[in-house]
Amino acid sequence: MDKFIIEGGRRLEGRVDIKGAKNSALPILASTLLVEDEFRIENIPMVRDIVTMKKVLETLGVSVSFDGNSVYIDTRGAVGYEAPYELVKQMRASYYVLGPLLSRLGRARVSLPGGCAIGSRPVDLHIKGMRSLGAQVSVVHGYIEVCADSLRGSHVLLEGANGPSVGATINTMMASLRARGVTIIEGAAMEPEVVDVANFLKRCGANIQGEGTRKIEIRGVQKLSGCKYRIIPDRIEAGTFAVAAAITKGDIYLSNVECDCIESILTKLRETGVIISKDKWGLRIRMDGDIMPTDIETAPYPGFPTDMQAQFTSLLALSNGVSIVKDAIFEERFMHVPELVRMGANLHQESDYVIIKGVPYLSGAQVMASDLRASAALVLAGLAAQGTTEISRIYHIDRGYESIEERFQSLGAEIWRLKE
């Protein structure tokens, strides 16, 4: 496995282009299974999860080829109905093929998902969505099996104990496109990635209304077709690079950013003392003074995203005061905390929140990444720390950030990858 070596303490300056949203790209790639046609999807991030989804589609009989950050997909001809464990265990988002296969073939068999180890993320809401459309669903030998002679529109509430489910909203939306009648999803996720998927499906001929609200209405259609589409920018990547500017007392311009999608992140950055200026091409993120403390509680969109909690924990570890970061969405998303403590952070975890007492500096240390966003948090801490930081198990960060070390190098960071 590869590892990162970081010589910290360098002020980051320059410009970085934000890549396409991984959490839009994955379901959009899966949704091409709905149609026997050709597609060209642009602004695809070249990350490990995209490669895994490519393998899933190819296993199902789809032709997939890349041209830079664009992908050409040909779904014409017969496709399979089973996504095997060997692939799905690598990435939870593989289950996005469930809805499209059910819609197109009337059946699907998909292994229970894998992905980051950040607590229980049950598939019960996905099953509820499929059943609401008239599908028979069973879990057998570690696989979800769904089948239906025909699908019919219905009314379904998809809000769970921890709020709306992005995955279940998208999967149910995809499965319902050809169902007879009208499907209404109540308690739908409002995330920009859900809106992006809906816009893609509408480009293919779907009749969808209400995306971006808690209520989405889908009217079944007889015909869908292929199309050309461009993925939205990745708001979590934008937030990560913005925190990099703050934690290194740097000055970074972010291009290819949709500012409205990251307002909750920008609000918290301003509270820490970051200076933010916007223009029609992007954002300038600059930190000149001390990092100020602030309290954060994650929430479904438009609230503060759980995917940015770990990065802000690293930032606030260097603040001039005491902060509290609460994440009730994923109960085990604090696995970066003991690693940051190894670097000198003063953190105390209690259940679903962490008390952060800022320290003057962090010290480089040997640390281990546990999941995608924890990896980003450790890289950020290493960039700001005194001395050398060695981060192992960085395959996690490769799942969601394209060429992350090269892009930080372009900003002045001393970071490089070593093969182990």
- Over the Cα atoms of the chain, what is R_g? 21
DSSP assigned state of 106: S
Helix boundaries (H) for 60-150: 85-88, 98-105, 124-132
Q: What gap in Å lies between CA 176 and CA 211, rounded to an integer? A: 14
Burial of 261 (0-12, 13-18, 19+ CB in 10 A): buried
Q: What gap in Å lies between CA 201 and CA 185, rounded to an integer? A: 16
Type and span of the H or E element at 383: helix 372-384
List 42's β-bridge partners, or say none.
Answer: 230
3-class secondary structure, 311: helix
Q: Which candidate, 83, 276, 282, places its Cα nearest to that of 171? A: 83
User: What strands lie across the sheet with 251-255, from one edge to the other?
Assistant: 13-17, 251-255, 282-286, 275-279
CA 402 to chain CA centroid, Å, is 13
CA 416 to chain CA centroid, Å, is 24
Please say if 116 is a catalytic residue: yes
Is the separation of the CB atoms in 184 and 155 below 8 Å? yes
Q: What gap in Å lies between CA 269 and CA 22, rounded to an integer? A: 23
Q: What gap in Å lies between CA 44 and CA 108, rounded to an integer? A: 26
Q: What gap in Å lies between CA 250 and CA 84, rounded to an integer? A: 45
Residue with tokens 């008390």: 355
**Cα dist from 23 to 9, 11, 133, 226, 334, whole Å:** 32, 30, 25, 20, 21
> Of residues 116, 204, 227, 261, which has the active-site annotation?
116
Query: Catalytic residue numbers?
Result: 116
